[in-house]
Structure 1
Amino acid sequence: MNKKSHFGALIVFLLGIFMGAIDSGIVSPARTVITNSFNISGNIGVWMITIYTLAYAVSMPISSKLSDIYGRKKVYGISIVIFALGSTLCGITNFYGNFSMLLISRVIQAIGGGGIMPIATAMIGQSFPKEKRGSALGLVGSIYGIATMLGPTLGSTVLNIAGNENWGWIFFINIPISIIILILMRNLEESKSATTKSLDLKGSAILSLIIVSIMYALTNLNFFHFKESIKSTSVYPYLLIFVILIPVFIAVERNVEDPVLNLKYFSDRQIRLTLVISFIVGTGLMGVVFVPQFAENVLKIKTGSGGYLVTLMAIFSGVAAPLGGKLIDKYSAKFIMTIGFLCTIIGTLFMAFFVTSHPGFVSILIGLAFIGLGMGFTMGTPLNYLMLNYVSSEESASALSTLSLIRSIGVTISPNIMVNFIVEASKKIPNNIQKILPPINVPGSHGHGMVSNSIPKTILEKFKTSDVTTIVDAVKDFSSAMIDKMMPKGNPFATSFKADYLNKIENSRFSIEQAFQITLNSGFKNMFIASCALAILGLIFTLMLRNKASKN
């Protein structure tokens, strides 16, 4: 392939990766808006993301196997068309349709999306000579990382321009990108000729059930209340299905000529290590979701203002990914991942033990810089490079889809673990703030405290959803309602007593905000320690890899 062809291939596949990756985050800021537009609850609304994740995970190995059989250019083009069709239908439901139609449209979109990332990565990896493969895959990691982190920002921008009532435009923007990709890929060469092999339908069906059951169970599993959670009907039946189907799947795949998932991947020690590291990277990756909230609490800025720090982290990650790709060509993937995990360990420890106790923009930026560099060096490039070198070129797409699938399972588990550190810390906030407040001693009243069943739900909700910038106002509203309930009717001192008490709260503003900040930071501290532990595990498994991957 000549230089011009290399550039054309890069544009086609990087555009696809960018479009698919950015879609995973662009829906996040619109989720509440879409939920409200259909007048449904938040628990139901979250399915617009859950169902996409499940369908995407199922689609990846099947689409990749189809590309190995029938040709990657052909299946990649079909995946782009399906993704564009799903995006169009998602957008149309904003004006004509209902939530059920949106869910069906998201499934269609996910089926197309599942074929984009692994096929594009395989094509890029195989289109370049081995001495330049790391650099090419570095661009993939850079584009994917930046797109994933910029997705929420782009989603918010589209909503601000089009208006919340026109949320469909967050999906419509995929249409022109898809058209450009289809036009540009006309001159690309097919990766291989179609073969007489057929898709392993039985194995594909069983694998789909396995993926859906394990990912749905893990989505609903609460790791902090494991015993109670695993007994839930939304968890244990699906875990049971998963356990039963695994040996069935192995038996089926051993007796087919061309299995949908090559079981030899799991018998090769180096591939097993690569898959384990991919799972660890996926689990640690989702800690990024909580960076905005952490930044808002540390810097004492209002909710929704911390997203720009994710952009700063994306810059560091975007620089590290292509740099890591170039260094892989010069050194090794093992060396780059070692550097990456060390950066992550330093960054998470710095966040946990310094930033939480010495909050400030410079300190949080230093921590995010190390974490961003760590992500850029570990997130995709070296793992994709290793996988491509461990398998034959004919199996590259299905091998990379297996890698992505394992990482997706880690991504699914991570939020359930990470968010509970914050939830557990949040439960301590009312009690810690109550220790600062003076007691409400109203003559003739009965009882006092921070909690009362007679407080209006709106005030209780305001207290529960407060951040460090609004907690004092929430405490004032809460205390005011408490005094109104406790004050005997006709008390001539009611107004002056309330005003005096609220003034005491205002004088304690710094102490209240500090109590809120410190308490919530304790949860973030534990979260970063957990992320550090994951990075240490990743480092250990990385050091177990061979120094040089065998070339194929």
Structure 2
Amino acid sequence: MVQKKHTTLILVLFLLGIFMGAIDNGIVSPAREIIQNSFSVSKGTGAWMITIYTLVYAVSMPISSKLSDTIGRKRMYIFGIAVFGIGSALCGFSNFYGNFAFLLTARVIQAIGAGGILPIATTVIGQSFPPEKRGTALGLVGAVYGVATIVGPTLGSTIIDLAGQNHWGFIFFINVPICIVTLCLSRVMEESRISIKNKLDIVGAVILAAMIASLLYALTNMNFFDVVSSLQKIKVYPFLIAFIVLIPVFILAEKRAADPVLSIRYFKNREILTIFIIAFIVGIGMMGMVYMPQFAENTLKLRSGSGGYLVTLLAVFSGVASPLSGKLLDKKGAKLVLMIGFFCTVAGTLVLGLIAAKSLTFISVLIGIAFMGFGVGFTMGPPLNYLILGAVKEEEGATALATMSLVRSIGVTISPSFMIGFIVDASKNIQSDLMQTLQVGFSKAVGGDMLAAMGSNGSKGSENLFASLQNADVTTIVSQLTDIFKKILPEKVQPLVLPALSDMSAEIEKTFQHALNLGYTHMFIASAIIAALGIAVSLTLKSKKKLVENSLENDPL
């Protein structure tokens, strides 16, 4: 498929596509509120700019991969890049000429294009190198994907800072020149297609799209800390029911299809099913990084929004680890690489949750980030891609990779709803902890129960005190409390209370830090347990260095 003299250009071609596709969801995150405010839509409505991209991306991956087998991987990849570029340009233009519905439509176009980039690029890279060098090549894929995923929010913040909040469209425009360069480089890629005389499984593709969309939408709206209540929501249970009902319909359709869009055999093969389980675990675990900026800000007393820059260090460690994992793949095999990666993740999350959250020091945060970065670099892409490409026939590589990416996407979808529960639960304790700190501080400063002495206005104000602190962080908690007390206290009491409040600033900040970090501690411990499960599942993999033998050829489906 690939001329050897063009190997470097081929790598650049596909790595650019992977970087672009991986970075786009994260790059939107820091601008979400800015964008929704510019269109005057609610937070719930604004979240759709990310949700709709995730849903369509997950749906389009297996369908695009199957299409690539028919019309050719080069054509499908070029189509994906072109569509992604057009969608990106339209997203940018919506900043100046469109409305929110126009933006969502453009995000759908973007996601359709992205779905044809990652699995095809990874497949071509993996199959363009001999088995003894495949791990190294896939290590580069993992490095680019991991770094892009992690630095996306940081890059988004940087672009917003440079262009200004009224020009958020530039976070999308940045993709356009990358698309143009990639399309120009695509001439070095040779076409390849599988000789398939059967028609595309349109019925299976439609059912699969409905299944994925139903499941991911339901999971997006789930509260995993209140499952019973969540299951009663109109945004959850109808879609879960639809997903369950469609499963046997899909299986029946795929059994009858001459060329199924997604092979059921994958889920009946022990080795491949194990790979999918590990991918699901990786998807859940990797989203713990989403809350790293907020954790760093609270722990190190950084201003809101600046924690994303610290996470760049995590991307650096991940970028260093991925090529190393690729080299190790070639020498020792995927099982060892995965176990090292999960072990690093366990170590990093425990350092952050049990040490950094209590010591509040930069060095402890850095050590935890370093371990997590290495964990991401060793688990994110190279070993799983290496395993799946070795477990299926060459012509099924793109489809199998897309299926694995889909399973990982389900884990990614579940994770935020699960992880945020720990933070929300900890936030409930902030009010009582701060009230206790204020009572003790005021008692020492002015004597007596100061809050009780405020009168009815103060009591009413103190009851609703923390409803006004939802957006407070450790750097603003004292100033916001000061503003609140100015509003609820009689003027004659303020000269006594406000100086005392200022004297207690360090204790107030410490109380706020520890109350919120308790939630992060629980979240990181949960992440460590999930990574430990990854170690346990990885132990069941074959220990051979060579590619897993193709066991699907004689599968009896």
Alignment correspondent of 2:521: 525
Check if 1:516 corresponds to 2:512.
yes
3-state SS of paired residue (1:436): helix
Q: Distance in 1 between matches of 2:182 and 2:454?
A: 75
3-state SS of paired residue (2:256): coil
Q: Which letter does structure 2 place at the counterpart of 1:470?
A: T
After superposition, what is the alpha-carbon deviation per residue over 1:60-93, rounded to whole angstroms, capped at 9, x for unaligned? 0000011122211111111111111111111111
After superposition, what is the alpha-carbon deviation per residue over 1:200-232, rounded to whole angstroms, capped at 9, x for unaligned? 000000000000000000000001111111100
Q: Distance in 1 between matches of 2:334 and 2:532?
A: 17
Alignment correspondent of 1:85: 86
Q: Which letter does structure 1 place at the counterpart of 2:109?
A: I
3-state SS of paired residue (1:258): coil
Q: Distance in 1 between matches of 2:369 and 2:460?
A: 37
Aligned length: 538
| Structure 1 residues 512 and 443, CA gap change in structure 2 (3 angstroms) | closer
Alignment correspondent of 2:258: 257
Alignment correspondent of 2:445: none
After superposition, what is the alpha-carbon deviation per residue over 1:411-433, rounded to whole angstroms, capped at 9, x for unaligned? 00000011110111011101101
Check if 1:57 corresponds to 2:53.
no
The range that moved more, 403-412 or 16-25, is 16-25
Q: What TM-score comes out, normalization by structure 1 length?
A: 0.95
Q: Distance in 1 between matches of 2:97 and 2:196?
A: 42
3-state SS of paired residue (1:357): helix
Equivalent residue runs for 1:271-350 within 5 Å: 271-350=272-351
Q: Distance in 2 between matches of 1:353 and 1:158?
A: 35
Alignment correspondent of 1:489: none
Q: Distance in 2 between matches of 1:275 and 1:441?
A: 56
Alignment correspondent of 2:478: 472
Q: Which letter does structure 2 place at the counterpart of 1:40?
A: V
Q: Distance in 2 between matches of 1:449 and 1:288?
A: 40
Choose which of 538, 548, 557 in structure 2 pairs with 1:550: 548
Structure 1: runs of 5+ lacking an equivalent = 485-493
Q: Which letter does structure 2 place at the counterpart of 1:412?
A: T
Check if 1:540 corresponds to 2:546.
no
Structure 2: runs of 5+ lacking an equivalent = 443-448, 551-557
After superposition, what is the alpha-carbon deviation per residue over 1:278-309, rounded to whole angstroms, capped at 9, x for unaligned? 00000001110100111111111111111122
Q: Which letter does structure 2 place at the counterpart of 1:418?
A: M
Check if 1:445 corresponds to 2:455.
yes
Q: Distance in 2 between matches of 1:264 and 1:433?
A: 56
Check if 1:363 corresponds to 2:377.
no
Is the Cα contact below 8 Å between 1:71 and 1:194 reproduced in 2? no
Check if 1:14 corresponds to 2:24.
no
Q: Distance in 1 between matches of 2:481 and 2:160?
A: 32
3-state SS of paired residue (1:223): coil
Q: Which letter does structure 1 place at the counterpart of 2:190?
A: E
The range that moved more, 536-545 or 466-475, is 466-475
Is the Cα contact below 8 Å between 2:69 and 2:194 reproduced in 1? no
Q: Which letter does structure 2 place at the counterpart of 1:529?
A: I
| TM-fit CA distance, 1:330 | 0.4
Q: Percent identity?
A: 53
Alignment correspondent of 2:35: 34
Alignment correspondent of 2:416: 415
| Structure 1 residues 443 and 62, CA gap change in structure 2 (3 angstroms) | closer
| Structure 1 residues 193 and 417, CA gap change in structure 2 (3 angstroms) | closer
Is the Cα contact below 8 Å between 2:17 and 2:121 reproduced in 1? yes
3-state SS of paired residue (1:224): coil
Is the Cα contact below 8 Å between 2:10 and 2:188 reproduced in 1? no
**CA RMSD across the alignment:** 1.6
Is the Cα contact below 8 Å between 2:18 and 2:141 reproduced in 1? yes
Q: Distance in 1 between matches of 2:453 and 2:235?
A: 51
Check if 1:166 corresponds to 2:171.
no
Alignment correspondent of 2:554: none
| TM-fit CA distance, 1:462 | 4.7
| Structure 1 residues 84 and 441, CA gap change in structure 2 (3 angstroms) | closer
Q: What TM-score comes out, normalization by structure 2 length?
A: 0.94
Alignment correspondent of 1:481: 487
Alignment correspondent of 1:212: 213
| TM-fit CA distance, 1:452 | 5.0
Alignment correspondent of 2:380: 379
Q: Distance in 1 between matches of 2:194 and 2:413?
A: 36
| TM-fit CA distance, 1:181 | 1.0
| Structure 1 residues 449 and 546, CA gap change in structure 2 (3 angstroms) | farther
| Structure 1 residues 446 and 188, CA gap change in structure 2 (3 angstroms) | closer
| TM-fit CA distance, 1:161 | 2.2
Detail structure 1 runs of 4+ shifted over 4 Å in the superposition.
441-444, 447-453, 459-462
Q: Which letter does structure 1 place at the counterpart of 2:537?
A: F
3-state SS of paired residue (2:225): helix
Is the Cα contact below 8 Å between 2:52 and 2:107 reproduced in 1? yes
After superposition, what is the alpha-carbon deviation per residue over 1:357-389, rounded to whole angstroms, capped at 9, x for unaligned? 111111110011011101110111100100000
Choose which of 448, 469, 480 in structure 2 pairs with 1:463: 469
Q: Which letter does structure 2 place at the counterpart of 1:333?
A: A
Q: Which letter does structure 2 place at the counterpart of 1:475?
A: L
| TM-fit CA distance, 1:197 | 2.7
Alignment correspondent of 1:177: 178
The range that moved more, 29-38 or 189-198, is 189-198
| Structure 1 residues 442 and 58, CA gap change in structure 2 (3 angstroms) | closer
Q: Distance in 2 between matches of 1:397 and 1:71?
A: 11
After superposition, what is the alpha-carbon deviation per residue over 1:131-172, rounded to whole angstroms, capped at 9, x for unaligned? 110000000000011111121222222222222212112111
The range that moved more, 3-12 or 105-114, is 3-12
